[in-house]
């Protein structure tokens, strides 16, 4: 049988290829403007996406498993024709695609027909806003989800018309990225086409104390953008924020967050925090079948009680929720506490297991349909 032509020839337009963190994995890194300039993405579509999202750039990395380094002539087949789905990893505040460490590689090693994609988003990393002081409506979770949805459609990684093999888009978000997943619009997706897994989602619609904290923190960081004389106060704000964000995480993750904080305009960091504190958008579709959540019992950034109250209000099924021993970074193995590291290592394995289980349930629905009666 002759293979169809691919809508994903853009995978050949990588900016860099490298060996992955996990043995037998490989990576390719992409910049949207680079793909547009080289003709892999139609200029009108690519620039329209950036303009609508208020961005000047969008960056991501693909991770896949292979026993040998895939030559370019086989790259399209390996990353399109041979796959059963993609796992898209979405980071949180002051993070970038590198905060996931081994997780993307572990997932694709566990199922070689899955390809991992770790994105930079919402003004962090290589995904850059046009302005250093974005409006809150441009960087809150609903806006971030709309941008991600449009990017998925632009890159044509969903099953296309005439394509024989079925595909699942598995979305995995942490912190701010986890909160983003609540705003996916199921109307745009077919049954069993998308799954969601939110790790420590920072969605605080029902916790006024935490909302005030985020608003105040965001306001304080944003002021640093405008009043240089107050830079001295940043010496107090930054360590506290990094400590809360990265408690229990590896030294590598802490370093990534510290560097990203320094590289990101304070107006962007402040606006993304304020957007969480002032978020009043309750238009969340209560479609929970392919949605899972993991919370850490010692998460100081996402209050456990407030989040449980919110999920109860949303009628989120108990069977779809895990509460595990751990902090905000319950899947990253740090060295500050041996007991904590032991728990986080187990949590990381659970995350991989849950992603694979969600994917298998979704692809089964696509292949066999639903059974009634």
d(CA 373, CA 371): 7
Confidence category of residue 1, pLDDT binned at 50, 70, 90: very low
The two structure tokens encoding residue 26: 């490989």
d(CA 72, CA 75): 5
Evaluate whether residue 373 is within a structural domain. no
Which residue in this structure is represented by tokens 């041979």? Answer: 82
Evaluate whether residue 308 is within a structural domain. yes
| 30-70 pLDDT, tens digit each | 999 999 999 999 999 999 999 999 999 999 999 999 999 89
Whether residue 74 is predicted with pLDDT greater than 70 in this model: the reply is: yes
Tell me the pLDDT of the chain averaged across its residues: 89
The CATH number of residue 86's host domain is 3.40.50.1820
Helix, coil or strand: residue 117: strand
Helix, coil or strand: residue 34: helix
* Exposure on the CB side of residue 191, measured as CA atoms within 13 A: 7
Evaluate whether residue 34 is within a structural domain. yes
For residues 114-133, one letter each, b for 16 or more C-beta atoms within 10 angstroms of the residue's C-beta and e for the rest, the string is bbbbbbbbbbbbbbbbeeee
| 319-371 pLDDT, tens digit each | 999 999 999 999 999 987 888 889 999 999 999 999 999 999 999 999 998 87
- Residue-range definition of the domain harbouring residue 289: 9-368
Judge if pTM exceeds 0.95.
no
Evaluate whether residue 60 is within a structural domain. yes
Evaluate whether residue 242 is within a structural domain. yes
Contact by Cβ (8 Å): 175, 328: yes
Evaluate whether residue 4 is within a structural domain. no
Total structural domains in the chain?
Answer: 1
Evaluate whether residue 3 is within a structural domain. no
Evaluate whether residue 2 is within a structural domain. no
Q: From the centroid of its chain, how far is CA 198?
A: 9
């Amino acid at each position: 049988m002759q293979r169809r032509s691919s809508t994903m020839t853009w995978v050949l337009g990588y900016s860099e290829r490298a060996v992955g963190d996990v043995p037998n994995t490989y990576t390719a890194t992409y910049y949207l403007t680079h793909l547009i300039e080289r003709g892999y993405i139609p200029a009108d579509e690519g620039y329209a996406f950036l303009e609508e999202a208020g961005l000047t750039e969008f960056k991501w990395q693909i991770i896949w498993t292979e026993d040998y380094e895939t030559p370019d002539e086989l790259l399209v087949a390996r990353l399109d024709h041979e796959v059963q789905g993609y796992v898209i990893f979405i980071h949180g505040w002051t993070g970038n695609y590198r905060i996931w460490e081994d997780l993307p590689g572990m997932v694709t090693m566990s199922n070689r027909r899955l390809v991992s994609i770790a994105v930079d988003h919402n003004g962090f990393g290589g995904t850059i806003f046009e302005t250093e002081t974005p409006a809150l409506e441009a960087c809150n979770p609903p806006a971030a989800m709309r941008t991600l949805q449009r990017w998925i459609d632009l890159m044509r990684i969903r099953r296309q018309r005439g394509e024989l093999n079925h595909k699942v888009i598995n979305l995995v978000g942490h912190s701010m990225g986890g909160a983003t997943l609540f705003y996916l619009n199921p109307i745009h997706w077919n049954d069993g086409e998308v799954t969601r897994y939110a790790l420590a989602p920072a969605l605080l619609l029902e916790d006024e104390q935490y909302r005030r904290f985020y608003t105040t923190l965001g306001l304080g960081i944003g002021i640093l953008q405008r009043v240089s004389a107050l830079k001295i106060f940043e010496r107090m704000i930054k360590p506290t924020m990094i400590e809360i964000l990265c408690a229990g995480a590896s030294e590598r993750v802490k370093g990534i967050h510290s560097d990203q904080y320094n590289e990101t305009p304070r107006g962007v960091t402040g606006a993304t925090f304020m957007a969480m504190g002032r978020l009043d958008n309750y238009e969340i579709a209560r479609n929970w079948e392919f949605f899972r959540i993991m919370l850490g019992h010692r998460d100081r950034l996402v209050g456990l009680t407030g989040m449980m109250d919110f999920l109860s209000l949303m009628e989120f099924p108990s069977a779809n929720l895990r509460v595990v021993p751990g902090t905000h970074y319950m899947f990253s193995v740090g060295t500050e506490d041996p007991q904590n590291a032991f728990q986080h290592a187990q949590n990381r394995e659970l995350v991989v297991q849950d992603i694979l289980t969600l994917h298998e349930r979704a692809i089964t629905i696509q292949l066999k349909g639903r059974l009634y009666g």
